[in-house]
Structure 1
Amino acid sequence: MTGIFLVGCGSSLKSSWNNFTAYYNTFYNAHENFKAGLKKVNNQPVTIDPSSPVRVHRGPNKAGYNDFENAINKGAQVLREFPDSKWIDDAIFLIGKSYYYRQEFYPALQKFEELMDAGSSPKMISFAVIWKGRTQLDLKQYRSGISYLESELEQYPAKWPQKYRGEIQAMAGQHHAMLENWEESSDYLFDATSNIRDKTLLGRTYFLLGQVLEQKERYGEAYNAFGEVQNNFPDFEYLYWSQFKQADIAREEKQFDLALDIFQRLRNDDKNLDRRGRLLFEIAKTHEMRGEPKQAEKLFKNLLYGTESQSQPRELQADIYFRLGKIYSDQYDQYQVAAAYFDSSSTIKSSSRSDTNEDNPEELAETYGEYTELQKSITRADSLLKLGSLTKQELDSALTAIRIQKKRELEEAEGGESTVIANAEMTGEESMGTPEIPTRYGYLNYKNAELVDQYKTQFRLRWGDRPLVDNWRRAEVIRGAERQEDFETARDQLQKGADNSESVVATNLENIPRTDEQKNQLLIEKANAQYNLGNLLFLNLNMPDSARHYFHKVLKNDIAEELHPPAMYSLFEIFSTENNPDSLQYWGKTIRKTYPGTKYAQRVDVRLGGTFEQDTTTNLLDQYYHNLEDTTSQKPLKLRKLALNNRSSELAPHIFYQSIEAYIKQAKNGSGFVDSTYKRSLSDDLSDSARVDSVTISAASEQQLQFSGAAWDSVRFAIHQFDTTFPNAEQQQRVNKLKKVLEEHRSASQEKTTCKDLGISLSVEPGMASFLSQVTYPEKLEGTSLSGKMIYSFTVTKQGEVKSYELISQKTSLGIEEAFEEAFEQHLQFAPLEADEAPDEITCRVSFPIQR
């Protein structure tokens, strides 16, 4: 018995010594290296994009790269030299986490799976599940992540720690949120908040829950969830944005006082000093939403020109100009000023990124600019017709009054210029200031060379050629005489302008209509402007009441009789959208009776007869059938634009769906796929609405398609636009079917192995310089100097054959992408991959320098 006891004791001592040696010789050092790397990761600043689902765990950020490499090497030493020690699980776990923080996700995934198999405790097995879920999140393997986590939750033992169960539930909710499965996500996150014990993790989980509930429009619950973030304080960024989101939700619920209180409280916090401008913008926007445009305008302009104007980011300036444009267009009906503000916003946005997800300011600037020009045309015609109706004596009196008025305006301008020059001499260190509002010449009037020169003159009058050296004021005294000369020059210019007033009046005299023919021509021009203005108000600005006013004016103009049928039909269309059957019938009968046999009467017959075929503008059907016969690559774009420009028509959803089919056909042809069942007519679609869609993708054809690249991106964009523009259209079921197929294959493609995973890169054959010489840039870029790079993601085979590609860098409006993609199709070839374990297909990024 004694011998047996000694052997057992010796075995125990040997095992203890083995564990001791494994820990202090290797694992301790590995753990210290890991701690050093993790500290660097945690020292990196936290940034949050509140428009996207936040992460409940902090993601890797490349910090501590070398420390994690040392931890991997030391951990591997434990596995090699001490395979029987108790630190094996810890070493595998530490190696997996180190790979994860180095963003080497596939090796990390392998280690976490090893930990699942080798795990000797509920804690280690739970950690393996959690970290595998985190890794799948970074690999964007959302569907497989959901399947894995839900399977683990189903078999999670009840006696195991619930805090780990909560963390797994939070990960499942995160994966569902990334796929916008808001209902499933909220269920998992609610359960997670009951089980998680770590306050930091709990606070982040509540933030994500608030975002998900906001998407579900459960605003009260979302407000409370964001409030719980502050109770757990995961990080200052989360604290700031949780309060910001509470204010945003309060605005949505029209609790404006509460929103203003939160925004002001954030603005008064010294920790938000660099965000004071954005917070004042949100305060101003809240006043605007509450119906207080004057107060909002005052605050917006204070941000641009007042005490808050210093160092505002360009994207914030763009947003401010946009909101001012909305105020002047929607609240004040001052469209010329609105057009100037929108133009300023679009000019700034063209060179900066803004997160504003509202209307395109460039399009609004164009629309309101066109409105202003049409109004000017109408006013000009009215003025000239009025002058043409005067007797010679009345005309002379009117011209005298015009000359007096112009002289007074020039004198006022001269007085203003004198004040400016005097201020340049007397105001000391005060600046000249910035014009209070932009003009139709863009931000700071940069499009008007005359105004730019004027501002330069004002600047020189104030500061001269002041050098950046000491004692410059002595030189300033000497320049005093020179400023007087500038003053005299300015006065001479104003006098010259006064002399020019006579020539202006003389020029106007030539335009005054003398004959009936000239008067009739002006009446026709006026009617055309009124008709175009009516269309602009109805189709672009969604102002049917104002549009009716101008169409009626066209009908009262007997000289412009050729515009009467389209004006009547436009009124017919307006009343069709307003659900006004009496007025609809009236204008339909009037068109039939007055203009029988015209295309407008035929369309009324079709419309009132209940047939689907109709249009919302005067030539919609003609354009539709013309575009349907188009055989160029522009066909889908033409159809899509036609549908969007006539979105109030019942035919618009069908036209848009035809554009989706055209996009799909192009994408299939680009993939070497030919669908013989694609072609069909409008009548086919109407006669059999329940048939199987001609573009529904069978299992066999799915295998032939990659569903990636620029062409398939166009399909996805068109489907998304259809969803938002025609949510209740009868084609929606077919669109949803297409969307589901594309989403499934995009998820599958996102899980492909990348060059980065294998540590290799693609090599262009015979060389990059040779390929770049084949790129033909658009003619409009001739004579220009360009620099930069285009980044594309390619899916290629082991042999280097390109299967698909997708633009990764920001798209330009210069046609450069099209030039490169044309060269891809004709000249691009990659060398075979130099990797023994490369899969059949691999995704890699390649950067192409722009050389011109």
Structure 2
Amino acid sequence: MKNFKIKILVLPLIFSLSGCSLWKDFTTYFNTYYNAKTIFDRTEEEILKKRTDLFAFRLDAITPQQKNDLTKVIEKCSKILQFNKESSFFDDALFLTGKAFYYQQEYARAQRKFLELANFPESEFALENKFWLAKTHLQLRNFEEGLKLLEEVQSEALNKDEENIFIEASIFKIGFYLFRQEYQTAVNECNNFLNNIKNNDETTALVLYQMGKIYNLLGDKENALKSFASVIEHSPTFEIEFESRLEYSRLLKDMGRIEESENTLNELLYRGKFKNQEDRILLELGQIYDEKNELDKAINIFMTIDSTYKQKPTAAFADLMLAKIYENKIRDYDSSFKYYNKTASSNLSREIKNQASSRYRIIDKYFTYKKILSDLYLQLTYLNDNNRFIRDSIDFDIAYNQYLEETRKKQEQSSQQSDLSISQRLQQRGIETPQQAQQKKSTDSSLYIDKKLTLVELIAQGKAKKPTRPKISVDSLRTTISQNLYNIGNLFLTELEVIDSAKFYFNEIINNYSDKPYKVDALFALGTYYETNNQKEQADSLYRIIYENYPNHKLFTEAGKKLGLIKSEDKKLVVNDPAEKLYIESEEKYYNKKYNEAINGFKNIYLNYPRSPFAPKSILFIGMIYEELNQNDSAAFFYSILSSKEYASTPYGKAVIAKYTEYKNEKERMEKEAKEKEEAEKKKAEELKLKQVNAEIPNDERPVNKNKVSGDEKPADEKIKTDSIKGNNYQQLKIKSENTDTSKIDTTKKQKIRLE
């Protein structure tokens, strides 16, 4: 536009000297260049406005519309380059074309245009063009040539007092070194910039902020702290000022200066100018309270973020922090499970969501083991205490009847809701009105405390079932219990990483289930626990028990190695079970609710590796999945495999034998009832057939009761005749009935049998 204004000012003089040439420039500008420049400026402004990091070396992808607009710019400029070479807008069009190709990330084509323009050293775009040419060299990995040109641009810009070009070239160069992870060189470039630019406080503040981040990457916290503190001595933008103050407070916390960090954050929180960033400040404060073990404060802050800023990323981070606090510090796995689930379904990065999903699955596994163990303990109690079974059955029946009554009342109330106000309807359904919700929020200071559910509530949620008498022996139950105690202990040791809880479960096996197969596994795991805690003497004593008493156990060799009594080369190493990897993958699919894939994986194990220890366990999982899917016949089929001779002696076979026996007995009972019902229906059909036959015989042809005295009684000879006719008619009707009605009866009977 500057060029254009000069042309307009000298318009009368030029018209008098060379009207034809000026007219060609004038029409070219308005017909082509002006439109191209307008489109380009608008598109470039959109692209630059969306940049989140000014030091980013790689460009963000542009939108299809922006790409289309840049193509229009290239097409319009190409007309000037082809047909108006004598136009004074030729170099303008060439430069615009190169920049348009660059934004489209067509770096080779952009470079050709910039090289072509470099042949016109007198062009007003010469220095800027050299800068863009240097950028294309670096994008095309011509690093040596690109950096050389950048240095020339910086030097020329300083000599010609072109501050803006020097700033752009310096920022791009810093971004390039960051991209290459040459952090110290990037710091040197920042210092070079600060030494040469004195009067641009906003850009100086920006470079100081970036230098603080680079020092942080280098682990130089002291210099990082100084850089962030220096930002506010200049004139930073609102955003850079806030980010610098926030980074400063984070660094203080990382350096152990917790109180200073807390004070800085509180100062930020109560500054009115940073109101829109309150959620980020609160998130940092919550983490400080977490670090100080002021858990009530931390939980309240994270819950405030979760409820107040639901649409912001900080809410998901707050959920993650809540999940970690509940898991690692409070041991409230129910709440932790809930918040890991929320984090996994948030819009955070894939890495964070995967981390949350992993913890979620581990805790879900814990709940599964815990539920199985609880059921097994209850079954053992019922075997030892029949009164307890009777008492629980009565309690369940009472609660179940109460549940049915409450359900009936709710249904009655639902039918009357048309006459109620909205707030009354919400109240009856157990939904809070906005006023109630606000009141509850302001008064409830212990939202994170889990409330125990009543038996009626558990029934309503499908979490309580009617007590059943155990069909399995005490010995089999104890074996299965010891297995599940080991599973939970191992989970605490390896995945939940709660060593003391692992020790509790392993000791439970050793002390109370020492006659069961999992005693040796528990001894070895407990030895690992002591070894982890640098208690070698206790660990070795447990390894020695295994080594001296269980020479045929799979852990005998490992115990000997731990004691130094067996070297690796003394015994041929056992090849890993090929089914193990398949089992782990299938189990993962099960916990991810991918039931069909899990079933196929488990089937593959027991079909291809029937003698593997993972085969019976895989069959058990298949049965459990089919049970969850309410496909009881399929579940029973696989439980029957476990109950067969091959697997009946395994812990898994013993675990299902009672369930499978009960299923078989119930199946036989149902089949017997169905057969009895079929016979009853058959008998009923035959009686119905006889009634139909009698209904079709006229009254005067029916047999007369000899003992009945009536005035209408026929003479003896007529009676004989009637009897004869009746007999013939009866035979005919019987034949007719057999040919017609019987088929209808049989069809009805078949339909009933199918329904049954």
Please state which band the TM-score falls in when normalised by the shorter chain.
Answer: 0.5 to 0.7
Judge conservation of contact 1:34–1:67 (CA < 8 Å) in 2.
Answer: no
1:265 to partner: Cα distance: 6.7
Scaled by the length of structure 2, what TM-score is found?
Answer: 0.56
Match of 1:342 in 2: 340
1:333 is aligned, of 321, 331, 334, to 331
1:535 to partner: Cα distance: 1.0
Distance 1:611 1:152 in 2: 67
Distance 1:499 1:367 in 2: 24
Judge conservation of contact 2:28–2:87 (CA < 8 Å) in 1.
Answer: no
1:540 to partner: Cα distance: 0.8
Q: Report the secondary structure of 1:360's partner residue.
A: helix
Which of 107-116 and 217-226 deviates more? Answer: 217-226
Match of 1:322 in 2: 320
What CA deviation, in whole Å up to 9, does each residue of 1:152-180 have, x standing for no partner?
36667967617556644432331232233
Higher CA-based Rg? 2
Distance 1:586 1:165 in 2: 73
- The 1:624–1:274 alpha-carbon spacing in structure 2 relative to 1, beyond 3 Å, is farther
1:333 to partner: Cα distance: 0.7
- The 1:378–1:72 alpha-carbon spacing in structure 2 relative to 1, beyond 3 Å, is closer
Judge conservation of contact 1:79–1:91 (CA < 8 Å) in 2.
Answer: no
Work out whether 1:568 is the aligned partner of 2:533: no
What CA deviation, in whole Å up to 9, does each residue of 1:783-836 have, x standing for no partner?
xxxxxxxxxxxxxxxxxxxxxxxxxxxxxxxxxxxxxxxxxxxxxxxxxxxxxx
1:200 to partner: Cα distance: 5.7
Work out whether 1:180 is the aligned partner of 2:139: no
1:545 is aligned, of 500, 520, 540, to 500
2:40 is aligned, of 37, 41, 47, to 37
1:595 is aligned, of 547, 550, 565, to 550
Judge conservation of contact 1:76–1:91 (CA < 8 Å) in 2.
Answer: no
The residue type equivalent to 1:523 in the other structure is R
Aligned positions of 1:75-114 closer than 5 A = 77=80, 81=84, 92-101=94-103, 103-114=105-116
Judge conservation of contact 1:116–1:128 (CA < 8 Å) in 2.
Answer: yes
What CA deviation, in whole Å up to 9, does each residue of 1:428-459 have, x standing for no partner?
759969xxxxxxxxxxxxxxxxxxxxx9x545
Q: Report the secondary structure of 1:556's partner residue.
A: helix
Judge conservation of contact 2:73–2:100 (CA < 8 Å) in 1.
Answer: no
Match of 1:213 in 2: 215
Distance 2:60 2:202 in 1: 10
Distance 1:282 1:65 in 2: 43
1:538 to partner: Cα distance: 1.4
1:606 to partner: Cα distance: 3.8
RMSD: 5.6
Work out whether 1:510 is the aligned partner of 2:510: no
Aligned positions of 1:353-752 closer than 5 A = 354=349, 357=352, 360-386=355-381, 388-389=383-384, 395=387, 457-458=429-430, 507-508=466-467, 510-511=469-470, 518-609=473-564, 624=576, 626=578
1:296 is aligned, of 295, 298, 314, to 298
Judge conservation of contact 2:485–2:509 (CA < 8 Å) in 1.
Answer: yes
Taking CA–CA contacts closer than 8 Å with sequence separation of 6 or more, which of the two structures ends up with the larger relative contact order? 1
- The 1:41–1:320 alpha-carbon spacing in structure 2 relative to 1, beyond 3 Å, is same
What CA deviation, in whole Å up to 9, does each residue of 1:519-552 have, x standing for no partner?
3223222211211111101111222332222222
Distance 1:98 1:505 in 2: 68
Structure with the higher helix share, 1 or 2:
2
Judge conservation of contact 2:39–2:73 (CA < 8 Å) in 1.
Answer: no
Judge conservation of contact 1:189–1:209 (CA < 8 Å) in 2.
Answer: yes
1:317 to partner: Cα distance: 5.2
- The 1:375–1:426 alpha-carbon spacing in structure 2 relative to 1, beyond 3 Å, is same
Match of 1:287 in 2: 289
Q: Report the secondary structure of 1:313's partner residue.
A: coil
Work out whether 1:149 is the aligned partner of 2:146: yes
Match of 1:773 in 2: none
1:361 to partner: Cα distance: 2.4
Distance 1:245 1:528 in 2: 50
Q: Report the secondary structure of 1:561's partner residue.
A: coil
The residue type equivalent to 1:38 in the other structure is D
1:326 to partner: Cα distance: 1.7
The residue type equivalent to 1:546 in the other structure is S
Scaled by the length of structure 1, what TM-score is found?
Answer: 0.51
The residue type equivalent to 2:362 in the other structure is T
1:556 to partner: Cα distance: 1.8
Judge conservation of contact 1:321–1:344 (CA < 8 Å) in 2.
Answer: yes
1:187 to partner: Cα distance: 3.1
* Structure 2 residues without counterparts, runs of 5 or longer: 1-13, 435-452, 589-756
Distance 1:418 1:578 in 2: 59
1:216 to partner: Cα distance: 2.2
1:125 to partner: Cα distance: 5.5
Judge conservation of contact 2:503–2:526 (CA < 8 Å) in 1.
Answer: yes
The residue type equivalent to 1:539 in the other structure is T
What CA deviation, in whole Å up to 9, does each residue of 1:34-84 have, x standing for no partner?
36632553356845667x964699997765964884587458737975669
Instruction: State the aligned residue count.
Output: 539
1:363 to partner: Cα distance: 2.4
Match of 1:816 in 2: none
The residue type equivalent to 1:367 in the other structure is I
- The 1:157–1:40 alpha-carbon spacing in structure 2 relative to 1, beyond 3 Å, is closer
What CA deviation, in whole Å up to 9, does each residue of 1:110-165 have, x standing for no partner?
222334454359x955533432344466x5x4x43x43333336667967617556
Judge conservation of contact 1:531–1:550 (CA < 8 Å) in 2.
Answer: yes
Judge conservation of contact 2:478–2:513 (CA < 8 Å) in 1.
Answer: no
Calculate percent identity across the aligned residue pairs: 15
What CA deviation, in whole Å up to 9, does each residue of 1:541-578 have, x standing for no partner?
22233222222222223454311222222233334444
Judge conservation of contact 1:407–1:498 (CA < 8 Å) in 2.
Answer: no
What CA deviation, in whole Å up to 9, does each residue of 1:498-517 have, x standing for no partner?
9999x999953624x9xxx8
The residue type equivalent to 2:330 in the other structure is Y
Distance 2:297 2:196 in 1: 47
Distance 2:113 2:90 in 1: 12
Judge conservation of contact 1:72–1:94 (CA < 8 Å) in 2.
Answer: no
- The 1:250–1:496 alpha-carbon spacing in structure 2 relative to 1, beyond 3 Å, is closer
Distance 1:294 1:417 in 2: 42
Judge conservation of contact 2:130–2:153 (CA < 8 Å) in 1.
Answer: no
Judge conservation of contact 1:211–1:222 (CA < 8 Å) in 2.
Answer: yes
- The 1:71–1:77 alpha-carbon spacing in structure 2 relative to 1, beyond 3 Å, is same
Q: Report the secondary structure of 1:357's partner residue.
A: helix
The residue type equivalent to 1:41 in the other structure is E
- The 1:247–1:405 alpha-carbon spacing in structure 2 relative to 1, beyond 3 Å, is farther
Distance 2:202 2:41 in 1: 16
Match of 1:738 in 2: none
Judge conservation of contact 1:537–1:543 (CA < 8 Å) in 2.
Answer: yes
The residue type equivalent to 1:369 in the other structure is D
Judge conservation of contact 1:72–1:98 (CA < 8 Å) in 2.
Answer: no
- The 1:510–1:97 alpha-carbon spacing in structure 2 relative to 1, beyond 3 Å, is same
